Every structure is written in C-alpha cells, then in structure tokens.
Amino acid sequence: MHWLDLPPPRKTIPPAFNNNGAAREWLSAQPQADPLQMQNLLLRQIESLDASDLSAAEKLPLLDFLRSAAVPVQEILEPRFLRKALPMAATDQQIFENSQQIWTQLGVAYFRIAPHFAPAERLLPLHRAASSLRLAEYCHLLAAQECPPLLDQLLFAVLAQSEQIGVLRESLTDPDFRQLGVSNIAGHIAWAFLLRLIDPYKLGVHQLAVANRAISRWRELAGFQEMPDSDPKSRAIPLTTLLGKTIPEGLPKWLDIRAIDRKIRHRLEALQAGESPEALKLGHELSSAGCIRLLHDLREALSQRNKTPNTEIGELPLVFGAENIYTLLAGKQLNSQGLGAGSAVLAHQRMAMFGFDRVSQLPNAVRNLNIPAEAWTLLDGLALRPAEAGDRHASPTLIATSNEKETRLGVLLGLRHSLDGALRAQPSWFPDTITAGVIERQVAGRAQRVPVFIMNHDGRFYLIAPATATIKLDVGLTIETPKRRHLTPTEVSERGTDFVRYLCHSA
C-alpha cells in the first residue's frame, strides 16, 4: 500500500521470551499487583516483539499472550484518564499515552505480520489489528485527546487488505472480549469510524458510554461502499473526513448507515412509549429522557447535513465558575467580603482580557470587581487556548463572556487536547437574556448562598445551577433577583460537569 508508511519497529530491548512457556514464566515474575509498572513492561515487550527477528508464526501467539495480559491492566488504569480536566496532570497524561500506545503498537504489530501468512490464515491477525486500533482510538475519545491521522489510515489499510483477500466479514470469537460474541473486521472498523463521526468530544462520560455500547451492538449493520446508493432512502455518509485526504482508488468512500438509523429510530419510539433504557440494552447510565436526547443528537450528527460554517474569529475572554459568572452578570459579588480590584494591575488585566479597563463598562457591572478571565482565541467558531495558559477544565462546563455590546452565558462543549498542544472547544451560547439570582442552601448545617441563572426561552423557564446545589425536582425555590422569583424544577434538561439546567414552571 503505497499510500501508507507503517511506523518502523521500535528496537528498544530484546524480547524477554520467544515461546509461550517462557512468556508465562516471564509474566509470573513481574509485579502484577502494580498496574503502572505492568503497563510499562507490557508496552516495552510489545515493541521489542514487533522489532524482533522471530517469524510471523512465532510472533502471533506471543502477541496474543501480551494482549491478554494487557486487557485487565488497561481496564484498571482507564479511570486515571477518563475525561479528566485538561490539561491532565503529568502522571495521568503518561498513563493515557501508554494506554493508547499499547493498543496502537499491538495493531501495528498484528498488521505487519499479516502479509506473511497465507490469505486463508490472515483473518486472525487482521481481526486482532482492527480490534486493537479501534481500542487505541477509543482511548483518545475517553481522554478527550484528538486522534492522530495514523490510526484512521491504519484502519483503512486493514479494511483494504481484508476486503482484498475476502475476510472482511468472516466472523471470529475473541477470547479477550467474549462479551462481544462473534465479530468481524468490518464491524470493528465501522464501530471505530461511527464513534469518530458522532462528534464524540461533545458527549459527556455517561453519554459516550451509552453511545459506545449502542454502536457496538449495531456495528455490523453498517456497510462500506465505493459509491452511495441511488435510492432516495439510502443513508450513506462520506468517510473522507476521517482519512484527511483523498481516499485511494479502490477503497470504500462511504459508510451506509440506513440500518443503524432505523435502529436509533426504533429505540427512540420505544423510549417515548415508556420502555426503559435497560430493557432496550442501552444501560443504566442515563435516564429515559437522557437517552432520548442522546439518540436525537446521534441522528443529527450522523445526518451529515450541510450547515453554514461558523466563521467567527477574534479574542474571546472566558469567565469560568458560577460565582465569577454571577459577578459578571449581576454586577456585584455574591459575598460582600469579596476583595476590591481597583488597582492599576487589575485595570491592565481587564484591558488585556476584555478590551477596556473600567469594570463599570461591563454591562450591569459595578466598579471595584475582580472577575478572573482566561484569554481564548476564536477561530472559525472554535475556541483555542495554549494548554498551559490557564486552569484545567472539563466539558461541558459553564462559561460567560462580555464585551461593550453584550454579556453572554453559555456552555463550553467538546473540549479536547489537540495534536498541536492547544485546547480546543466549541462555545455554545444561550440565545436569551439571562437573569442572575441567588438561592439559599443548607450545607453542613449552615446557610449558603448559591448563584443560579434564570432563562426564559420560547415561553419556558429554565434554571441553571451549580451541580453541587443539590436541587430537588418538584420542590419549589425562592430566587433572589432584582425581582424575587419562585420556580419549581420539573425536569433535568442538560447536565454538565459543573452545572445542571432544569426545566421549571413558574409558581
């Protein structure tokens, strides 16, 4: 395949074994109670085995042995990088790097040896390669890290070779993932591609888990096509966005998802008719309403409808944290003991962040307020910031910004660590006027003032509150605003990492 250059083998250390008996002895001597050390040791052995002079027939069972040993270690360490605030702490970042490298190196090693087998014997290494590369991409989605182009290129290469020798849809049982039952190479590759196409960074942890589970069940319903069907009911989506360049001749350029769209539609109808997510095998992470919202979002993402591109550019000062946002919107601090900010230094900071130095120029603001903000850049609708140039964040998270014309409240979606080292995310602004307010909560027996925000959208009231506010549904709230309000939350309409948005009725 002239369009793909496999990464060269990494000749680090000689392999510690050359047969299964020696491999078992080696493993029994390792510190298996220490997953961090085991992860490093397994990665080094996978690399050394890939670079060794052993024959393909000798490498295959040893790669299987290392893969089986890696699976429980990876499962233990996965929570260390599961949608942690970005940029991640150095130790967690290293655990993620090792995790994705284990799956990537296994995928490359399996793919490298596949051509050395007779066509009828290539199913196993190609199936292992597809599975490993899918897991490498999933590690990136779990950690909110952008996938390198190499992974998609390798998946396309596995797809091409499997199609060429006629094993693309031959079924195989994987002893390391028995929960999947029988699976085929096409299913694993479609699974990986579908997850990449649903805008996965916008999904929360629980949403991603449910989406991954659903797609895993429907993976083999997708079909690869060189040209989409002429049937007006066909649902084919282009794969060009994944390869990042023109797809070589002879490779499929479209993914037919008509059967998957039908599955999503049927699940939506069942949920709306009162079926539970568990009964529909969607899991227990999301409520019925949460599953309905997620499935609607998946259909929207997979529709690939042409949207008007967002061309906004410029500097974007972002305020994080409910109390800071309250100060910006209300023009006063939540607690009277807040410090003043009238110094020349703070005026200079305001000029740098907001473009003007007097806080009184902020809509609804007053003098002597200190509102910390981070300097982000808006480019084609995406917000960018050097990874180390501010606090750590996880998305979806509540944000606000202000300029001479308006103050806006919104949510930062799809935060991820890009390959160039920057943080990227999409700000989504609430379309209506927001009123800042305060409710009182009892925390450890003491009254605490909690900032909240009221939105009236299309005649419906919404309350946006910190996730820690412990608000109960169907229990009325008195909210201090310029005009005291009484609202009763009736339904959770959105849940972020640090906020919850409730649909309310007005008392």
pLDDT digits (tens, 9 = 90+) for 435-470: 999 999 876 778 889 999 999 988 899 999 999 998
Question: Which residue carries 């910031």 as its tokens?
Answer: 385
Over residues 197-216, the mean pLDDT reads 95
Q: Please determine, for residue 345, whether its predicted confidence score (pLDDT) is greater than 60.
A: no
For residue 44, the model assigns a pLDDT of: 96
Q: Which two tokens stand for residue 154?
A: 């390798």
Q: Please determine, for residue 187, whether its predicted confidence score (pLDDT) is greater than 50.
A: yes
Nearest-angstrom CA–CA distance, 368 and 366: 7
Task: Give the start-end residues of each E strand in 196-287.
Answer: 223-225, 236-238, 254-256
For residue 126, the model assigns a pLDDT of: 98
Nearest-angstrom CA–CA distance, 24 and 462: 60
Q: Which two tokens stand for residue 95?
A: 């655990």
- Tally the C-alpha atoms within 13 A of residue 324's C-alpha that lie toward its C-beta: 15
For residue 11, the model assigns a pLDDT of: 80
Cα distances from 492 to residues 53, 269, 276, 332, 408, in angstroms, run 59, 20, 17, 28, 22
Question: Which residue carries 């960018």 as its tokens?
Answer: 384
Q: What type of residue is 399?
A: I
Over residues 479-491, the mean pLDDT reads 92
**What's this model's pTM, rounded to 2 decimal places?**
0.89
Q: Which of these ranges, 79-83, 99-103, 303-307, 496-500, has the smallest mean pLDDT?
A: 303-307
Q: Characterize 387-397 residue by residue with b for buried, 16 or more Cβ atoms within 10 angstroms of its Cβ, and e for exposed.
A: eeebeebbbbb
Q: Is 281 exposed, middle or buried (0-12, 13-18, 19+ CB in 10 A)?
A: exposed
Q: Which comes out higher in pLDDT, residue 500 or 483?
A: 500
**Confidence grade of residue 359 (pLDDT, cut at 50, 70, 90):** very low
Q: Please determine, for residue 330, whether its predicted confidence score (pLDDT) is greater than 50.
A: yes
Q: φ and ψ at 305, to 5 degrees?
A: -70, 140
Q: Please determine, for residue 356, whether its predicted confidence score (pLDDT) is greater than 50.
A: no
Among positive and negative, which fits the CA dihedral 254, 258, 263, 264?
A: positive
For residue 140, the model assigns a pLDDT of: 98
Q: Is 319 exposed, middle or buried (0-12, 13-18, 19+ CB in 10 A)?
A: buried
**Confidence grade of residue 60 (pLDDT, cut at 50, 70, 90):** very high
Whether 90 contacts 98, CB under 8 Å: no
For residue 2, the model assigns a pLDDT of: 65
Over residues 395-403, the mean pLDDT reads 94
Q: Which of these ranges, 30-34, 48-52, 161-165, 438-442, has the smallest mean pLDDT?
A: 438-442
For residue 309, the model assigns a pLDDT of: 66
pLDDT tens by residue, 45-58 = 999 999 999 999 99
Local structure of residue 218 (DSSP, 8 states): H
Q: Please determine, for residue 347, whether its predicted confidence score (pLDDT) is greater than 70.
A: no
Over residues 421-434, the mean pLDDT reads 92
Whether 471 contacts 495, CB under 8 Å: no
Q: Which two tokens stand for residue 378?
A: 């808006």
**Confidence grade of residue 307 (pLDDT, cut at 50, 70, 90):** low
Q: Which two tokens stand for residue 222?
A: 């997708």
